[in-house]
Structure 1
Amino acid sequence: MIRLREVSVTYRRNLVEALKNITTVIPRDTVSCVMGPNASGKTTMLKAIAQLIDYQGMIEINGKNARKMVKTLRRILSYVSTVEVRDLLGVTVLDLLIYSRYPVSEKFLTSMKDLEESLKTAESLGIKHLLRRKVNELSSGELQKVLLASALVRSPEILLLDEPESHLDMHSKIWLSRFLKNISNKVTVVLSTHDPYFASLTCDHLILLSRGRLVFSGPREQLFQNPRVLEEVYDTLFTTVKIGDYAVLIPLPSKP
């Protein structure tokens, strides 16, 4: 379980308060979505949980102060961002997977086990044919699968994904949604998204942010029962449509 207590983040360069006194709980073994429009603080929250930026307040992971478990987090937590991986010019997919196992490698040296786990993970995600390709040459759909592989190759307990559905076509979004739900019984998945439809399709637990403030945190069904909250945050009308066992949010044209 991940617990945030009065967490605030201020970027010193422009004195912008990206998060403002956030207090919430993210349950274990679920898919949780940090949702909100652009510039609402979604990425900032993920980076704070991953201990990649400074923050005020307290973040606890499994009951422990996250600030005091940075080395442990390198083994049990994976954070992936499309933007950051795109910067790995010239790196092959296989190199990226092997490199991603560094925090759990014995004596921090590449071993046969690292290679075997990389190949096993690539096969499970159907990307073995991409292993010799360079990361910056991949399509958006291919890159997303490679990102997941790089995060999962060290068998993390917590998986943080920054807007993983961005730039994906509908088929790839549905594949990603199903994949994340399938692994959530073994991994606590926390992702950021600005897309309420993808969140409603994928997530069990929702955290809604607006301009750095917490608007809602709880089960998805609870938020869907009152779409007015979403409409105020997104300035868009929504309706809930039930398709089989799923209830998904659909945006509607705004009133004139």
Structure 2
Amino acid sequence: MSALDRYQRFRFRRDGRILTAAIAAPGPVNAVDAVLHAELATLFTDLQHDPASDLIVLTGEGRTFSAGGDYAWFEQQVADPRKFRAIAHEARRIVTSLLDLEKPILCRLNGAAAGLGATVALLCDVIIADERAPIGDPHVKVGLVAGDGGTLIWPLLLGPARAKEYLLTGEMLTGAEAARIGLVNHAVPAEALDSKVAEIAAKILANPRWAVRWTKTVANQPLKALAAQMMDSALAHEMLSNLAADRAEAVRALIEKRAPRFSGE
């Protein structure tokens, strides 16, 4: 039995030495719930140790990649902050294990990616997006610090000023806009997504395995050093923001499908 057989929130497909991992959470938007969060914390280590693959494609089942967190899970974390505290180690491992993965990983951004979904997408080596796919980090809109990797990767890709504009407003971009400003590598029409992914995968796999893996390892060293410097503080501030009154109001407003009434507390 493969380690990948135990996953509930992913579907795996193989094409030669390419392994596709598709997020397959309940509901239409592949929202991050407790199970998916826990699985993301182990996925990249298990992919590293998968003997039958040399390149990973990360995508979403259906029409989305992963459009943020599950509202019911948010509500549980507000009601019992210990549940939020308990997943801090998972949040750290999602980022560090993705950066530790030696195999090249391509993101096939087939639809909306928000919050942690966007972070995971942007930490991949090459991101190929549907030109109409929305991508953004709206943590602030739900009353949270973007502590699970957004404050790490957005400034690296865009520069501090432009990244802070998107992180502080929570604004979403289209795939085409994201490619134009350098947030993702390529944006193509939906019907061309698979061919573009296959094209880049073939170019990478045409090169010697260990030259590819260890080039990536060296290129990721500055990201790993920055993650080690930032992640504990980022997660601590995110946990603090989960205690705020405006966080609880943001979650209630989402569930009740109304505009939030923030107090500043």
- After TM superposition, the score normalised by the length of structure 1 is 0.31
Return the structure number with greater relative CO, CA threshold 8 A, min gap 6: 1
More helix by share: 2
- After TM superposition, the score normalised by the length of structure 2 is 0.30
